[in-house]
Chains A and B, each alone.
Chain A
Amino acid sequence: EVQLVESGGGLVQPGRSLRLSCAASGFTFDDYAMHWVRQAPGKGLEWVSGISWNSNSIGYADSVKGRFTISRDNAKNSLYLQMNSLRAEDMALYYCAKESGEGYFDYWGQGTLVTVSS
């Protein structure tokens, strides 16, 4: 059974940093691209960032480019999102999602909540 478990969310002040983690199991982690997708309270889905299986290809939404860094550790079956210079508009539930191999998200975690407030 595929499982994606996010952690690392919490309350952080504007301008500070936070690192999210996603622990994956139930599939061959290093065969698939992985992504972060977020959802602000009461809002729609926003793709944040994605990384290929070998970390050679990485993409970011314009809203986070230059502030967020995605990475992965295939030996630990883990995905990460380093978030710097956090803003109020970054406040959201952050989902870890597995890519199907065809550009779609076939498995999702339950999310970790990031609250940005002074």
Chain B
Amino acid sequence: EIVLTQSPATLSLSPGERATLSCRASQSVSSYLAWYQQKPGQAPRLLIYDASNRATGIPARFSGSGPGTDFTLTISSLEPEDFAVYYCQQRSNWVYTFGQGTKLEIK
């Protein structure tokens, strides 16, 4: 099973700052990686798929990079609504795994 490790566990930043979240896979997942945002009391929302493609309706300040084993989600300039928990996810032969999440909190 491919393990996804996210870092940091918590990231404290201010609105307007740049956020960089990392996701490392235990083996190569090519570009088959997605990022989700989850706010309290809400279901997750797909942000990025195939490592770098924004999902429908996702603002351009969200971007992703890969491929291979090291992936990054970048939020270029934080808006108040961006403070949430972010998860990465991969799929491989009908086994899907999530990272443990990064909590992005207001500093």
Q: In the complex the two chains form, is A44's CB within 8 Å of B49's CB?
A: no
Q: In the complex the two chains form, is A45's CB within 8 Å of B43's CB?
A: no
A53 within 8 A of B: no
Cα–Cα, bound, A102→B32 (Å):
8
How far is the CB of A89 from the nearest CB of chain B, in Å?
16
Type the 1/0 row for B66-77, where 1 means its CB is closer than 8 Å to any CB of A. Answer: 000000000000
Q: In the complex the two chains form, is A105's CB within 8 Å of B44's CB?
A: yes
A29 within 8 A of B: no
Q: In the complex the two chains form, is A104's CB within 8 Å of B43's CB?
A: no
The number of chain B residues with a CB under 8 A from chain A is 26
Q: Which of the listed residues A58, A61, A95, A104 has the most CB atoms from chain B within 10 Å of its own CB?
A: A104
Enumerate chain B residues within 8 angstroms of A58, measured Cβ to Cβ.
Answer: 94
Shortest Cβ distance from A106 into B: residue: B46
- Beta-carbon contacts under 8 Å, A46-69 to B: 46-47, 50, 57-59, 61-62
Q: Which of the listed residues B34, B85, B90, B100 has the most CB atoms from chain A within 10 Å of its own CB?
A: B34
Q: In the complex the two chains form, is B94's CB within 8 Å of A109's CB?
A: no
A-B contact pairs, 21 of them (CB 8 A): A35-B96, A37-B98, A44-B87, A44-B98, A45-B36, A45-B87, A47-B96, A50-B94, A50-B96, A59-B96, A62-B1, A95-B43, A95-B44, A100-B49, A103-B32, A103-B34, A103-B90, A104-B49, A105-B46, A108-B43, A108-B44
Interface residues of A (CB under 8 A from B): 35, 37, 44-47, 50, 57-59, 61-62, 95, 100, 102-106, 108-111
